[in-house]
Structure 1
Amino acid sequence: MDWRDEGILLSVKRHGESAVIAEVFTPAQGRHAGIVRGGASRRMAPFLQPGAQMDIAWNARLQEHLGTFVLEPLRSRAAVVMSNRMALAGLNAVTALLCFALPDREPHPRLYARTEQLLDLLDQTDLWPLAYLHWELALLEDLGFGLDLTSCAVTGATDGLTHISPRTGRAVTRAGAGDYADRLLPLPPCLLRQGDAPDSEIAEGYRVTGHFLNQHLAPDLGSKPLPEARQRFVDLFMRGVAA
């Protein structure tokens, strides 16, 4: 059994004396693991950095086997993240969430495309925080936990949406919220792709996506806690907002 695809390196773990087990994300194969012979060597280790764009060839005797990878680097993102603390934290959040949330060997081509586009913005510090927020929305949607922000769940109105139901992910207007407004999540305009998206709104957006990642996605995966890398990135961003 074998396949070849282009993809993103998500993680690398030492395996034996000189090999590593790598996890990659490709449009056709989804999240997929394999052994890289010699991956821990001085020659190969510098290229096997999470976030790198790779040409990937996988081979195994049987489909269910772990198999081996031959990885050829196409584009490194290491230079960007090593010189930018926020970019490094963001990259770690993306790769950790993908390793956490994606089912093994299940294709998610739309999410893959969004992920590649996001990682290509790592050096765009003015665009990255909002792009990352919308990527988290895309992650939730692709895994079956998407938010419905098109109309009010109570009145059906499409304008004046101000809240989100923490249970259903449906948008609600101020009038529709009524006496239950304090039980709902605020809906920042940046989640609707409206307005200038100041950092304070983006921070509120992270609280919204964080709720659905923690309270909806994580329990579906066996109540595993979200990767700490996600919170580290959000905390770093919040410190910048508060400064």
Structure 2
Amino acid sequence: MASLSAEAIVCAVRPHGEHGAILRVLTREAGLVAGYVRGGRSRRQRPVLMPGNLVAIELRARTAEQLAAASAELLVSRAPLLAEPLPAAAIDWITSLTAAALPEGQPYPALYDALAAVLDAIAVAPAARHWAAALARYELLLLAELGFGLDLDACVATGTRADLAFVSPRSGGAVSAAAAAGYEARLLRLPPFLRGAEGEPAMEDVLDALVITGHFLGRDVLDGRNRDLLAVRERLAGRLNRAVA
């Protein structure tokens, strides 16, 4: 019998049968895993199986092909955040993206740590600008972990590492201000913090970063049956833009 005991972040819950639920969680060592929770739709279990929650997960299956039986114990609840529209939209998006984009059973420890950090930031930050940059960095990391990383170290046209100001929406490479002259409207503005600039970025820079990551997530990751998730992200982007206005 295969088994797993680990701390995990709840990413998706889907009703199954009359009372049960299929739970998908991200663990640090085993990656994204799924299991069937008996009574997962009960009044007792629903507050535990909420996206964004940190749980202690137990999975048991007779074979690797069988959907495991799962049980979960609540460690950290994100429920209070779901009463606030902007944090709720952020948690909905980031957990849905993780569940949809990652293959099951492959470890992504850097993504687990980054997702936990984003959720912690949403929980403690007094305003969206304090956690939205972490969200953009998470999306950038997810693209890289899935093989769609952007090259932001040097200009794709000239090779220079100086004055990088834009990103090509076709190649995903950085473009210097000089090489972009006359073509700025066709390019995506590159905020300095995505290249490791120190200090807290302005919200306008964060929104520019989310335009970049959103473009490449839509093109390279969220295709086919996952395209409807873009609507979740558009709602989040709309809320963030209104928070700045």
Shift of 1:72: 1.0
Which residue of the partner structure matches residue 182 of structure 1? 185
Kindly indicate whether residue 207 of structure 2 is the aligned counterpart of residue 203 of structure 1. Answer: yes
8 Å Cα contact 1:18-1:41 kept in structure 2 = yes
| 1:51 Cα deviation after fit | 0.8
| Residue aligning to 2:154 | 151
The Cα shift of 1:223 comes to 7.1
The answer for the alignment partner of 1:93 in structure 2 is 93
Question: How far 1:40 sits from its partner (Å)?
Answer: 1.6
Q: Are residue 35 (structure 1) and residue 36 (structure 2) matched?
A: yes
Indicate conservation of the 8 Å contact 2:167/2:174, yes or no: yes
Contact 1:3 1:57 in 2 (8 A): yes
Instruction: Give CA-to-partner distance per residue, 1:54-104, whole Å, 9 cap, x none.
Output: 11111111101111111111111112332x221111100101111221112
Counterpart position of 1:121: 121
- Three-state SS of the structure 2 residue aligned to 1:46 is coil
* Counterpart AA for 2:6: D
Gaps of at least 5 residues in structure 1 are none
Which residue in the other structure is 1:71 paired with?
A: 72
Aligned partners of 1:93 and 1:127: how far apart in 2? Answer: 17
Q: Does 1:80 align with 2:84?
A: no
How far did residue 226 of structure 1 move?
Answer: 5.1
| Distance in 2, Cα, partners of 1:30 & 1:63 | 15
Deviates more, 1:25-34 or 1:49-58: 25-34
Contact persistence 1:22–1:36 (CA under 8 A): yes
Matched ranges for 1:21-60 at <5 A: 21-60=22-61
Distance 2:236 2:166 in 1: 25
Q: CA RMSD in A?
A: 1.7
Q: Does 1:237 align with 2:240?
A: yes
Contact 1:213 1:226 in 2 (8 A): no
Q: What is the CA deviation profile of residues 120-179 of structure 1, one whole-angstrom value per residue up to 9, with x for unaligned ones?
A: 111312411111111111111111111111111222222200111112211111222244
Q: 1:147 to 1:127 in 2, by over 3 A?
A: same
Contact 2:48 2:72 in 1 (8 A): no
Normalised by the size of structure 2, how large is the TM-score? 0.91
Superposition deviation, residue 214 in structure 1:
0.9
Q: TM-score, normalised to structure 1's length?
A: 0.91
Identity rate, percent: 38
Q: Which residue of 1 aligns with 2:12?
A: 11
Q: Deviations over 1:188-241 (max 9, x none)?
A: 22322436522222111111111111112234xx47415122221111101122
